[in-house]
Amino acid sequence: MKHNLPLGVVLSLFAALLYSSQTAIIKTQAAVLPPLPVVIFIQSVISLILILPLILKNGPSGAKKILASSKLSLHLIRTVFSLSISYLLFYAVTYIPLVNGMLLANTAPLIVPFLAYLAFSQKINHRLWFPILTGYVGVAIVLHPDSSIFNPASILALGAGVAMASTMLTVRKLSATEATETTAFYFFLFSSIISGIISIKFWTPVSTHMLLIMAAIGAFYFATQYASTMALKYINAQLVASLFYSNIIYAAVISQFVWHTLPTPYTILGMILIIIGGILCIRVEAQNKVEPLHLHQGKLAYVKET
């Protein structure tokens, strides 16, 4: 696993853009889409179909090599974490406002260091706290949650943040030994199976028009997952999570073009803080020059770059 800060940053920002674009499609087409569990199932199947050419590009022997993995249980755990993000956030926002749910789900960068320490004994980089908190304050200003954020249902949205942090750490660990195609394939395979079972209860007839829209959603979902998985091969999960705050900025820009919603002064201030936080995170990472999760004698450990 190679440490490449510029490439990791670009991939993280690109993944955030794709995620915001996918969310915008879902929002604009919500009236004609089936229930969310059905959408999640179909986007997983579409993504599984899209990954197959990459798996088969070198023929059956190449595919066999890519699919060979001794980490199937970890792939399954990652899938459960990833799917939990959508389900937890979806049910949370049926009881609390969407902005409150998004704010709590965006706690992932604050949670990653503690999970990394507990799961992998990874040392917490305290120099990242200020830039991460700066970005989070920016997120809070943009979303400006109301008092209902203290609703007990908010625990579900906070759980989505924990699931997102767990997903990033799990993918980061898988990246130490698995190719991006391997990680993506097993995620799309397991998510298709699990979400397919869950969607049975919510199934409704899917028209051709619905299917075309969900095909686009699935394509964005595939690209988001692939880009973020690649990013986690090059930079640590804490930095990827903090850069993912940029999805708030992208969402604001998309809202301007699609719904002609002009940003308020508070939104502009929040976006500036998110950008400052991201720049400071990148600067801290560049100064450290540490490759956080190398596999050493079967265990994850810190290794200084030479």
301 is a domain residue: no
pTM assigned to the model: 0.85
- The tally of domains found in the chain comes to 1
Residue 273's alpha-carbon distances to 5, 49, 135, 136, 305, in angstroms, are 21, 39, 6, 8, 31
Residue 304 has pLDDT above 50, yes or no: no
16 is a domain residue: yes
302 is a domain residue: no
More confident of the two residues 279 and 305? 279
Taking only the tens place, the pLDDT of each residue in 254-279 is 878 887 777 788 889 999 999 999 99
**Tokens 């699919």 -> residue:** 67
More confident of the two residues 202 and 90? 202
What pLDDT does residue 91 have? 82
- Exposure on the CB side of residue 10, measured as CA atoms within 13 A: 4
254 is a domain residue: yes
CA neighbor of 136 nearest in space, from 2, 266, 245, 8: 245
Range of the domain at 114: 5-287
What pLDDT does residue 24 have? 85
**299-304 vs 290-296, strand pairing mode:** antiparallel
pLDDT band of residue 299 (cuts 50, 70, 90) is very low
Q: Judge contact between 41 and 198, C-beta under 8 A.
A: yes
- Exposure on the CB side of residue 95, measured as CA atoms within 13 A: 13
218 is a domain residue: yes
What pLDDT does residue 1 have? 55
What pLDDT does residue 120 have? 79
Taking only the tens place, the pLDDT of each residue in 7-59 is 999 999 999 999 888 888 888 888 888 998 999 999 999 999 999 999 999 99
243 is a domain residue: yes
Positive or negative, the CA dihedral 213, 260, 108, 36 is: negative
What pLDDT does residue 289 have? 58
127 is a domain residue: yes
What pLDDT does residue 259 have? 77
What pLDDT does residue 291 have? 44
Work out the average pLDDT over 206-213: 91
Q: Judge contact between 136 and 124, C-beta under 8 A.
A: no
295 is a domain residue: no
More confident of the two residues 186 and 305? 186
Give the integer Cα–Cα distance in Å for 111 and 163. 10
Helix (H) or strand (E) holding 302: strand 299-304
